[in-house]
Structure 1
Amino acid sequence: MTSSELWTRATAERYDAEEAEMSSAAVLGPTLAFLTELAGDGRALEFAIGTGRVGVPLRERGVPVAGIELSEHMAAVLRRKIGEEELPVVIGDMATTVVPGEFALVYLVYNTITNLLTQEEQVECFRNAARHLRPGGRFVIELGVPPLRFLPPGQVAVPFDVSERHLGFDTFDLVEQVLVSHHFTRDDGDGRYRRGTSRHRYAWPAELDLMARIAGLELERRVADWDGAPFTQDSTKHISVWRKPIRGRATGLST
């Protein structure tokens, strides 16, 4: 078991409704196109597949998909959408759990690698991805760039959403490299606000590249979004692609 916080039944049951915008065609279209191209004629493995926001429509596009998910409650919601034979899911953590077979693509979306709260576990996640990839296969991560430029001296919080139904802000522990996301969400039923928090270990792109080298993977591409926009110093997130070498050992650190 990793240090990841476990999603509860209540959280799993309302997850799709609260993340409806992330399931829109405008968001999912470029994501699915990007992943489908990388998978080619091979299989794809999603770490932390959750309720299947990406995995289910990717399977519907013809890509054979398998998943790893820590929360049985999240996997149960996914299972209402698609059967085990069509999209198998193994319950376990993404740093150590092994799924049979080789894959052309392993991917992690929507900042999910930050659920692993230590650097060691994040390194093991890269190693686990490399373990599952066939030679020439790719590991893809979608991750926000830590917004520390918005954190002046003496300030401890950065807002990321201020809307009618939701107020969200992050607080940072710069020593431990951990952020806590705070959410105040208004329930449609009685209009009251529900508070929730979650912990995450943020990581910079350069740190992820070193993790990839430790796992024997090589950076192939980094863009600012699923549509392929260039990654710059002003980008708020990145899509990074690392490749498992086809022949010989990768350059860099050994495992």
Structure 2
Amino acid sequence: MNPSATPATGTVAVAVAVAVEDIGYGRQFEGWYDRLFPRDESAAVTAARLAELHPEPASGTVEFGVGTGRIALPLARRLAAPVTGLDSSPEMLAALRAAGEAEAGVEAPEAVGAVGAVGAVDAVLADIRTYTSERTAGLVYCVCATLSMLLTPEDQRQAVARAAELLAPGGRFVVETHNKPAVLAAHEGRSRTSYFIPYPEPGTGLQTHSTLLPENDLWHCAHVWFESDGSSRVGTELSRLTTPDEVDAYARAAGLVPEGRSADWLGTPYGEQAPMFVSTYVKPVAAPVAADPAGTGGAGAPA
């Protein structure tokens, strides 16, 4: 990592890693991402479960695809320890910075990267496929379907491998992403469908036009967000659908051991009808080297 900013004081530090490929997600959803994914009870439940899954908060925490900090900020509070948040979108990290400063009751400065952190979120502009750090972590997590934003099996496999490399022995990797069988079932054999989700605030909701591109397991969604004042916003996203078994295979190839799988953060048993799935993996602790009582060094030892 090559930081472009020196941390000062505050709640969010922003650094930059080299060679970051931004897919433009943040530019499309800037200013209304938190309307789609509010900082509500579901975010609190996610943060609480991640805190329970953490082997040791002092050992470090990394989020792949931190976005606006919807999960990282409450998790850092629960852990009373920093969370390192990676994202390829400057717009998302700017929103994260503003949210962290709003929580701390300080005014956000104009320059991204001018704010440091004493304990909340260390935000890094980075590619989750290539990010490296000299520090290991006890927990690495990739939620809200961030893994599906990588559009090839190799890119997804590379991100999981990077998570495994960042983990300390005994550390845990947690993934939440779209459940391919459920998405296919929702289309009922059609390549295109649409649906509307009303939100709790009266007069608001999300209309989604969904298209399957089965040759590459890709899923294209065009979203129209409706505000109660009659205004609307439009954004699109392209993702690659995976099954839980496919993510398990990525993890095994990276040396991780599948630990558990559920349909949500409440621990509901997984089923193919679940729209998302949550899987956990553990990095094995290296087995101790057996002692050589005779002091010979074992077979093949140099004379």
Same fold judged by TM-score > 0.5? yes
Moved more, 90-99 or 230-239: 230-239
Pairing of 1:1-255 with structure 2 (within 5 A): 5-9=23-27, 11-20=29-38, 23-25=39-41, 27-39=42-54, 40-41=56-57, 42-61=59-78, 62-82=80-100, 84-85=116-117, 86=119, 87-146=121-180, 147-153=183-189, 155-163=190-198, 164-188=204-228, 191-248=230-287
1:95-136 C-alpha deviation (Å, 9 max, x unpaired): 111234110000011111111111111000011001100001
CA distance in 2 between counterparts of 1:132 and 1:95 reads: 12
For 1:34, give the aligned amino acid.
R
* Alpha-carbon displacement from aligned partner over 1:218-255 (angstroms, at most 9, x marks no partner): 1001111111111123322211001111125xxxxxxx
**What RMSD over aligned residues (CA atoms) do the two structures have, in Å?**
2.0
Q: Structure 2 unaligned runs (5+)?
A: 1-18, 101-114, 199-203, 288-303
Q: Take 1:50 and 1:29, find their aligned partners in 2: how far apart are those partners?
A: 16
1:132-158 CA distance string (max 9 Å, x none) = 0000111101112122123334x2124
- Residues 161 and 240 of structure 1: is their aligned pair in 2 closer, same or farther, counting only changes over 3 Å? farther
Change over 3 Å in CA distance of 1:237–1:195 after alignment to 2 = same
CA deviation map 1:1-48 (0-9, x unaligned) = 67762234462222223322xx212x1232112111122333210001
Helix, strand or coil at the partner of 1:245: coil
- CA deviation profile, 1:167-192 (whole Å, cap 9, x unmatched): 11321111111000111122455x24
2:109 corresponding residue in structure 1: none
- How far residue 75 of structure 1 moved from its aligned partner, in angstroms, is 0.5
Contact 1:5/1:199 (8 A) holds in 2:
no
Question: Aligned partners of 1:195, 1:101: CA distance in 2, in Å?
Answer: 39
For 1:91 and 1:233, how far apart are their aligned partners in 2?
Answer: 35
| Percent identity for Structure 1 against Structure 2 | 30
User: Across the two proteins, how many residue pairs are aligned to each other?
Assistant: 243
Alignment-mate amino acid for residue 195 of structure 1: V
Please state whether the residue corresponding to 2:46 is helix, strand or coil: helix
Q: 1:178·1:199 contact (CA, 8 Å) conserved in 2?
A: yes
Alpha-carbon spacing, 1:230–1:116, altered in 2? closer, same or farther (3 Å): same
Gaps of 5+ in 1: 249-255
Q: Distance in 1 between matches of 2:28 and 2:149?
A: 18
Contact 1:70 1:92 in 2 (8 A): yes
Q: Distance in 1 between matches of 2:272 and 2:218?
A: 22
Q: Is the 8 A contact 1:47 1:69 kept in 2?
A: yes
Change (3 A) 1:184 1:81: closer
**1:113/1:161 Cα in 2 relative to 1: closer, same or farther (>3 Å)?**
farther
Q: TM-score scaled by structure 1?
A: 0.87
User: Could you tell me the TM-score, scaled by structure 2's length?
Assistant: 0.74
Q: Find the structure with the greater CA-based Rg.
A: 2
